[in-house]
Amino acid sequence: MNKKSRLSHYDDAGQVAMVDVSQKAVTSRTATAHAYVAMSPAVIEALPQNAKGNPLEVARVAGILAAKKTADLIPLCHSLPLSHVGLEFEVQGEGISITATASTAAQTGVEMEAMTAASVAALTIYDMTKALDKGIEIREIYLLEKTGGKSGTYRRNRAGMK
């Protein structure tokens, strides 16, 4: 774990502050996040016949839009010029695995944008399938990888630790 003397979103007096990135170099940055939506096999089987449309394609659009709005949702996030946001979905076990990737050339990273995309995609799948089962669960939202910037590359290993 990276140890710092204080959290980054507080100033020397302990007050909440947006991190000043004005002196940081613009670099290419990427982040990939994961989420999992656990559901019954019956709900998975019904996905292609959903009357509201294909939930995974609607979730893809929702995730992209959410990434673009991250700074509006997370109070101290910087607004970033996103170069790309992509989402992939895979049926795994009794659920849908979501992988969201965001990239930019900026002074700060895109981890929050990728995690927001994955989270909102998961919520959208829930919204579009909840009529079939209220017991659907959203689980395992986490950062898989980030590249760029002063801290370099981070990759989550299977145990969830760096």
Q: List the catalytic residues.
A: 127
Q: How many helices (H) and strands (E) would you count in the chain?
A: 4, 5
Residue 56 CA neighbour count, 13 Å, CB half? 21
The SS3 call for residue 31 is: strand
Among the listed residues 126, 107, 109, 110, the one whose alpha carbon sits nearest the alpha carbon of residue 35? 126
Helix (H) / strand (E) containing 123: helix 111-129
The side-by-side arrangement of strands in the sheet containing 154-155 is 82-91, 95-106, 27-38, 137-147, 154-155
User: For the packed helices 111-129 and 55-68, what is the interaxial angle rounded to 10 degrees?
Assistant: 150
Distance CA 24, CA 10 (A): 18
